[in-house]
């Protein structure tokens, strides 16, 4: 390049000032300091370009890894890891479904079909009576409903403890208890009208009086369910007293051989 500039100057194809400027530029370009500076700039730009392409490649790779369609194995691995984490997590960190399963009430004991039918019907009646107790505002009526609940629960319990009483209890469940609930529902609806009339007031008064009869009848039924048990108990007591007297262990029966004697 230097020789070309000199030849161009010698041939006189340019003005003297332009040739001088050309030579000056060549000298500056070829000087060591300028060359090192130019090389440094070129290297710096090259490093920046390389860094740009490296960063771009890394970002592209990250996007491809996060795409489930292109990385099914990774998604499967994440699912397995998540399942393991849920299994190893403490109860407080498990899903709501696990908490519900853990808090599920124990299964009901298995009864015979006849007894189970009595238990199911008794539970249904209990829920209805509790609802009526909560909605009826009359305190005297609420007190009678509470008595009905307590006695009817004991009647159902007797069916579990003594299945031989089921036939007697069935009539109570088939008519007496449902009719009582039906009348209480009518009482609740009439009371909710908020008015006093001959029909409403008279009917409600009749239902209140009927509750006294129902409570007494429920208690009498419960007592009758223990008639067989009472008879069995009385029989056992008589037999035991007879044996105690015969062996001399009861008052007036004398001393048993080997007992109560003095040497």
Per residue in 39-62, pLDDT tens?
Answer: 667 677 777 777 778 888 877 877
User: Is 177's pLDDT higher than 90?
Assistant: yes
Which residue would you say has higher pLDDT here, 262 or 165? 165
Q: What is the CATH number of domain 113-240?
A: 1.20.5
User: Is 117's pLDDT higher than 70?
Assistant: yes
pLDDT of residue 11: 52
pLDDT band at 181 (very low <50, low <70, confident <90, very high): very high
- Decide: 159 and 214 in contact? Cβ < 8 Å: no
Which residue would you say has higher pLDDT here, 181 or 17? 181
Where do the domains of the chain lie? 113-240
Q: Which residues contact 160 (CB under 8 A, 6 or more apart)?
A: 111, 115, 119
3-state secondary structure the chain: CHHHHHHHHHHCCCCHHHHHHHHHHHHHHHCHHHHHHHHHHHHHHHHHHHHHHHHHHHHHHHHHHCCCCCCHHHHHHHHHHHHHHHHHCCHHHCCHHHHHHHCCCCCCCCCCHHHHHHHHHHHHHHHHHHHHHHHCCCHHHHHHHHHHHHHHHHHHHHHHHCHHHHHHHHHHHHHHHHHHHHHHHHHHHHHCCCCCCHHHHHHHHHHHHHHHHHHHHHHHHHHHHCHHHHHHHHHHHHHHHHHHHHCCCCCCCCCCCCCCCCC
């Amino acid at each position: 390049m230097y020789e070309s500039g000199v030849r161009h100057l010698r041939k006189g194809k340019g003005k003297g000032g332009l040739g001088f400027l050309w030579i000056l530029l060549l000298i500056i370009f070829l000087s060591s300091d300028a060359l090192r500076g130019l090389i440094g700039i070129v290297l710096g730009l090259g490093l920046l370009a390389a860094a740009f392409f490296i960063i771009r490649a890394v970002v592209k790779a990250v996007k491809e890894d996060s795409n489930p369609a292109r990385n099914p194995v990774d998604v499967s691995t994440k699912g397995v890891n998540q399942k393991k984490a849920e299994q190893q997590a403490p109860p407080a960190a498990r899903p709501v479904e696990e908490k519900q399963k853990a808090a599920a009430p124990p299964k009901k004991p298995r009864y015979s079909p006849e007894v189970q039918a009595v238990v199911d019907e008794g539970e249904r009646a209990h829920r209805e009576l509790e609802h009526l107790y909560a909605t009826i505002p009359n305190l005297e009526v609420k007190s009678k409903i509470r008595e009905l609940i307590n006695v009817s629960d004991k009647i159902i319990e007797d069916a579990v403890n003594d299945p031989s009483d089921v036939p007697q209890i069935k009539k109570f469940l088939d008519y007496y208890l449902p009719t009582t609930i039906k009348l209480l529902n009518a009482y609740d609806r009439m009371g909710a009208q908020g008015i006093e009339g001959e029909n409403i007031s008279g009917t409600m008064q009749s239902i209140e009086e009927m509750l006294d009869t129902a409570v007494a009848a429920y208690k009498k039924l419960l007592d009758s369910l223990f008639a067989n048990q009472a008879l069995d108990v009385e029989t056992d007591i008589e037999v035991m007293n007879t044996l105690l007297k015969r062996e001399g262990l009861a008052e007036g029966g004398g001393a048993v051989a080997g007992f109560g004697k003095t040497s």
